[in-house]
Structure 1
Amino acid sequence: MPRIGYARVSTIDQDLDVQLVRLKAEGCAIVRSEKISGASRDGRAELATVLPFLRPGDELVVTRLDRLGRETRDVLNVVHEAEQLGASVTVLDPHVSTRGEMGHVVLTVLGMVAQMERRFIKERQREGIARAKGVGVYTGGQRRLDRERLRALHAAGHGPSVIAATLGCSRMHVYRIL
């Protein structure tokens, strides 16, 4: 029964190493990873690659449930799709698997908690920004990309793929800035 790992972090600044090491240590022969928000399934190419690859008896393994998604519906859809293919889903922390009946109940509850947590975080963030604006200290988020360097690479004749690889971003991000 092959174990296939899936690791995800939300931004390019975050590190996947801890998840990758843990999944390999758990016996995952294949591990797919990506750096993209878990707020929705849109744009999550690696997850879209893993799901149809699952075969009966396979096990999709993630370190934490929020790596699959932040919305309960998304998490349950991933679990459902895996099960339709005859595979199971295992979360390592806390250890829950869809092999048993209670696993479904626990995953549903954990998915709801993850969704609530995301809403609380966004609410606190909005409140913090409003307070900072009120006292005149909010200047907006910091840019994650050096736009001048991006434009310089473009002016030097480099294409979007090369620029994206050099700066560690997506081609779409390059196109948006250009």
Structure 2
Amino acid sequence: MTMYTVLIPPDTYPDSLSDTDLDRVTFIKEGFCWPALYIAVIWMLFRRLWLVVIVYLVLALLLEFVTRQIGGVAPLLGGLLFAVLVALEANGLRRWTMERRGWQFVATVEGSTLADAEQRFFSALAARQTTPAPATPAPAPRMAPANAPRFASAHVVGLTPGPRHS
């Protein structure tokens, strides 16, 4: 199964998505991105990753310069490793760019295909919107954590304020 991150457009709320907002919900696959391996710059431009493509080009030129100075198989090996690294991180860079633009993370969905993941997400969203909200339970009384030191009678080395004994 493939995992997909679900992002909603800026200035929208998951509980009250309009039809136009539902059309703009974006699913980003987790993991390796094959188009970014073969045609990285075109993929980045198509996805509107302007800052990412600038950094990519600068790093690619710097890597090319350094590996040419080394010589031998370094340019080939460096280029292949850089391409694989970009393909591994491409969907994460896309998600990062969208979150910088105000898109909001709402869920992670799994599915064998994108259509399956969309169906799971939208059916869960519809079920959540038709189910009435549960009554708010009374707040539980506040209790101190069990592992918190007691200051009155117990002495915990290093945690109890007071005079130090040598």
Question: Could you state the TM-score of these two structures normalised by the residue count of structure 1?
Answer: 0.23
TM-score for both structures, normalised by structure 2: 0.25
Select the structure of larger CA radius of gyration. Answer: 2
Higher RCO (Cα < 8 Å, 6 or more apart): 2
